[in-house]
Amino acid sequence: MSTHYFLYTEMKVNNKWYCINNKIKEIDKGEEKLSTTYYSGSYSFFREAYDKLERLGKRIDKNELSDELKGQYGTEKLEYEDLPLSVNFEDIKACIPSGKMNEYHGYVHKNIISSYLIGEQEDIYDYISIEEYKKLSFEEQLLYDYFEWDDSQGWFKYFKMIIEHVEWQLYEWNDVNFLKEIDKVRIIVYRY
pLDDT digits (tens, 9 = 90+) for 6-53: 999 999 999 999 999 998 988 888 888 899 999 999 988 899 999 999
Quick one: 18 and 84 in the same domain? yes
Task: Provide the residue count of the chain.
Answer: 192
pTM across the whole model: 0.85
Quick one: 122 and 180 in the same domain? no
Quick one: 18 and 42 in the same domain? yes
Sequence-ordered strand ranges (E) for 78-160 = 85-88, 104-109, 144-149
Quick one: 30 and 89 in the same domain? yes
Quick one: 42 and 129 in the same domain? no
Q: Structurally, how many domains does the chain consist of?
A: 2
Quick one: 69 and 25 in the same domain? yes
pLDDT digits (tens, 9 = 90+) for 127-153: 999 999 999 999 999 999 999 999 888
Sequence-ordered strand ranges (E) for the chain = 5-13, 16-19, 23-26, 31-34, 38-40, 58-59, 85-88, 104-109, 144-149, 184-191
Quick one: 13 and 63 in the same domain? yes
Quick one: 82 and 169 in the same domain? yes
Domain that holds residue 69: 5-96+152-191
Quick one: 133 and 167 in the same domain? no
Quick one: 118 and 73 in the same domain? no
Cβ pair 83, 192 in contact under 8 A: no
Quick one: 120 and 141 in the same domain? yes
pLDDT digits (tens, 9 = 90+) for 76-134: 767 666 889 999 999 999 999 887 889 999 999 999 999 999 999 989 999 999 999 99
C-alpha separations of 29 from 39, 55, 83 in Å: 21, 37, 27
Quick one: 72 and 12 in the same domain? yes
